[in-house]
Chains A and B, each alone.
Chain A
Amino acid sequence: MTQAQVEIQLLAMATAVACSLCGVFLVLRRMTLLSDAISHTVLIGIVVAFFLTGDMASPWLLVGATTAGVFTVLMVESLQKTGVVREDAAIGLVFPALFSIAVLLISIYSKNIHLDMDAVLVGKIALTPLPSRRLEIGGYDFGPKSLALMMAIIIVNLGFIIMFFKELKVSTFDPAFSKAIGFNPYWIHLGLVLSVSTTAVASFDAVGSILVVALMAAPAATAYLLTDKLSIMLVWSCIIGMLSAVLGYWLAHILDASIAGSMSTVAGIIFGFAFFFAPERGLFSVWHRAKTRDRKFKLALLLVHLTQHEGTIREEEECNIESLHLHLRWDEYEAHSVAFEAVETFCATKENKVLRLTPKGRIIALESLQIGTNLS
C-alpha cells in the first residue's frame, strides 16, 4: 500500500466512526431521516457563506453549512409544532425547498463560482492526498487536512457521548422519565442535532452527502440488530462503519469506481447480512428458532402419544411407524422424521415398526404432561 492509499483509508475510517457514533442515537430516536435532510441543506449554507466571503476555502463555509443543518432541524420541528404537518411531511417540505434555493442561486451565479455539484454528492475523498490539501504547521506535514478535521470531530463526538452518556440514555429511551426527574431532554436533543450537523458537514467534504446518510444509518441499524446494550451498540456501530470503509475502499479500487459509492454499497451488504443472520434477531435465526421449537414440541407430542397407548390393545396399531401420521394428523414425511429423531435420541426404540418408549422417553413425556397440567 502506498502512503496515499493508507491516508484515504484512514480518512474513510475516521469519517465512518464519526458518523456511526451519531448514527446510533439517530436510529434509536427515529431521527435518521433528519440526516438525509441535513445532508441536502448544508448546500445552501455553503452557497450563502461563499457569497458572503467570496472564498471557497474559507472556514466560514463550514460554519455556514453547520448553521444551515441546525436551521433545517429547527424549521422541521417548528412546522411540526404547528400541528398541521406531521414529521415525515415536514422533512419532505423543508429540505427540497432549501435545496431548490441553493440550486437556483448556483445556477444564476454559476459563472463566477466554482461550486462543483458532483463533488457535493460524491465527495472528494480520492483527492485527499493531494499536496494542496495537506495540513502543514511549521514545516511539518501532519497529513491531510480533512483527516485532521475528522479526528477533531471524532473527539468532540466521543466527548459529548461520554460526558452526557447517562443523559443521552435516559432521554433516548424514556423522555418522559427524563423530564420527570428534572432533566429537559430538549437540551440533549439540541446537542445531538448540533453534533450531527457538524459531523455531516465535515464528512460531506470528504465523502459527499449521500454517503453521510449511509454511514449514519446503516452501521447503527446493523448494530441495533446485534445487541440490546447501548454501549455495545456504539462499539459495534464503529466497528461496522470502519469495516465498510476499508472493504468499500478496496472494492472501489478493484472496480476503479467511486469510493463513496462502494462504501455505502458495502455498508448495505453488511446490513443485509445482519438482517438475515444476526444471532438473536436475524430473519434466518428467528425462523430457525421457531423451527427448533416446533420440532421439540412435536417430539414431546409423539412421546406423549406413546405413553397414552403404552400397554393397550391398540398399541401395535397406534404406535406403528407406518400409520403414525394418521393418528397424529401430521405430514407422513414429518411423522417419519420425528420418529427417527425419537429413536436417534434414545427416547424410543423401534421393534418391528412399532415404537416403544425407553425410560428416558417416558420421563420426557411425563414432564411434558406435567407442564401441560400446570399451565391449565
Chain B
Amino acid sequence: MFESLSVPGLGSVIAGTAMLGFLCGTLGTFAVLRKQSLMGDAISHACLPGLIVAFLLFNSKESWALMLGAAISGTLAAMIILGISRYSRVKEDSSLAITLSVFFGFGLMLLTWVQRRPDAAQAGLARFLFGQAATLLDRDVWLLAAIAIPCLITVFIFWKQFQLVCFDRSFAQSLGFPVFFIDVLLSLLLVMVIVAGLETVGVVLMSALLVAPAVAARQWTNKLEIMALLAGIFGAFSGIAGSFLSNIGKTSIPTGPVIVLLITLIVLLSILFAPARGIVWLQFKHWRDSNVLQLDSVLSNLVNLAKEHSGKQNGHSMAMLKGISSNPSGVPRSVHKLLEMGLVFEVDKGLYIPTTKGEEYLHEKTSHMGRP
C-alpha cells in the first residue's frame, strides 16, 4: 500500500483525475437535466477524426494540437446533432446514433488510411478508447487546469441562464433570453470537457463520468447548486479513489474502468438509499402508508358496523371484518395494533367494538376529508 505512494507520477495522476472528475460532474449535471446524457458519448466518439486530421496537419503528437483537432470535430458533431433533430423529422436518438457512428467510422477510415493497414488499428486507437490515466504528467495536469478553470468560471457567470434553460425553456424564451445561444454554449463547454478528458479516461468512460455523478447527486438534493457541487465531489472522489486502487496491486489495472465502476457503485447506493428519492426509502414509505390506511379502514368498518347494529354493546368478529375488507389477510394485524393503541376494545372473546377514543380518532381523520 505504501509502496504505491512512491509510484512516480501518481501525484499528478490523482490531481488530474480528481480535477477531471469534478469538471465532468459539474457539467454533466446540466447534460443530465436537459435529457442530453448521451450527447457526451456521441461527442467523445466524434473526436476521433479531428484527432487524426490534427495529427496529419501538424505532424505531431503534442497534446494541444490533438486537443484542438478533437475540439473542432467534437463541436462540428454537436452542431450536426442539434441541426438534424431541429431541421428534420429524424428524432434526437437517431441523430445522436448516426453522428456518433459515422464520425467514428470516418475516423477509423482515416486512421487505417494513414497507416495503410486495413486489418487492424494500432495503439493510438486503444489509447483513444480506453485512455491512459497512468501516463499523466505534470504538464498534462496544467493543461487540464487551463481548460477546467475557464469552464468553471463560465458556468459560474452564466449560472442563472443555465438554470433557467434547464428547467423552463419556454419561460426563458418568453423572457427574451437567447436560448439557442445558451444551448450552443453548453454544448461547447461539454466539448471542452470531453476533449480535456479523452486522453485520461478514453471515450467510453468519458460518457460515464458525464452521466453517473450527476445522476447520483440528483438523488440527494432538489437544489441545482448543491447537485452540481455534489456531482463534482462524487466525480473527484471516484477519480482519486480510482487512481489509488488501480495502482495498489503489483500488476497495473487500467485506471479508467476502475473509476467508472466506483462511480457506478456510488450511483447504485444513491439510487437505493438516498432519503426521499431512494428506492428503499420509497418502498418503506409505501409500506408505512399502506399500513396506516389499512388500520383506518378496519377501524372505520368497525365504527360503521357498531352504528348500524344496535348500540355499542354488540361486538363484531374478526371474520366479519375480514369479509368486508379489501385486504382480509392484513385485518388481524390491524386489529391487534388497534387494540394496542386503545382504539378498539374486545368485549367478548373474538368480538370487538370501537372505544370512544377510537371514534374520536376516526372523526379527527375523516373530518379533513372533502376539504382542501
Contact = CB atoms under 8 A, between A and B. Distances in A.
B94 A32 contact: yes
Contacts of B254: 103-104, 107
Contacts of B97: 32-33, 35-36, 213, 216-217
B119 to A, nearest CB: 5
A82 B215 CA distance: 13
Contacts of A221: 90, 94-95, 98
Given A30-B93, A100-B260, A92 B37 contact: yes
B251 A258 contact: no
Contacts of A224: 89-90, 94
Contacts, number: 218
A220 B91 CA distance: 12
Given A225-B89, A258-B121, A211 B130 contact: no
Nearest to B202: A103
Contacts of A268: 98, 101-103, 105-106
A218 B271 contact: no
Interface stretch (A115-123, A140-148, A295-303, A366-374): A115-123
Given A40-B204, A118-B120, A258-B118, A252 B100 contact: no
Contacts of A99: 204, 257
B112 A257 contact: yes
Interface in B178-225: 204-205, 207-208, 210-212, 214-215, 218-219
B318 interface: no
Contacts of A40: 204
A255 B116 CA distance: 8
Given A118-B120, A261-B109, A268-B106, A107 B41 contact: no
Contact of B101 (A88, A97, A218): A218
B47 to A, nearest CB: 14
Nearest to A96: B208
A49 to B, nearest CB: 20
Contacts of B116: 256
B239 interface: no
Interface in B231-278: 251, 253-254, 256-258, 260-261, 264, 267, 271, 277-278
B76 interface: no
A262 B271 contact: no
A256 B118 contact: yes
Nearest to B211: A92
A122 to B, nearest CB: 6
A93 B105 contact: no
Of the listed residues A40, A97, A256, the one surrounded by the most CB atoms of chain B closer than 10 A to its CB is: A97
A218 B104 CA distance: 13
B82 interface: no
B126 to A, nearest CB: 6
A84 B253 CA distance: 32
B111 interface: yes
B208 A93 contact: yes
Interface in A253-274: 255-265, 267-268, 271
Contacts of B111: 258, 261
Interface of A: 27, 30-33, 35-36, 40, 79, 82, 84-86, 88-89, 91-93, 95-97, 99-101, 103-104, 107-108, 116-119, 121-122, 124, 126-127, 210-211, 213-214, 216-218, 220-221, 224-225, 251-252, 255-265, 267-268, 271, 275, 281, 283
21 contacts: A30-B94, A33-B96, A82-B271, A82-B279, A88-B38, A92-B37, A97-B208, A97-B260, A100-B258, A104-B261, A118-B120, A118-B126, A127-B119, A210-B104, A210-B105, A210-B108, A211-B105, A216-B97, A217-B98, A257-B112, A260-B105
Interface of B: 32, 35-38, 40-41, 45, 84, 87-91, 93-98, 100-113, 116, 118-121, 125-126, 129-130, 204-205, 207-208, 210-212, 214-215, 218-219, 251, 253-254, 256-258, 260-261, 264, 267, 271, 277-279
Given A97-B208, A107-B254, A224-B89, 12 more contacts: A32-B94, A36-B101, A82-B279, A85-B271, A91-B37, A101-B261, A104-B254, A117-B130, A210-B104, A252-B118, A264-B101, A264-B104
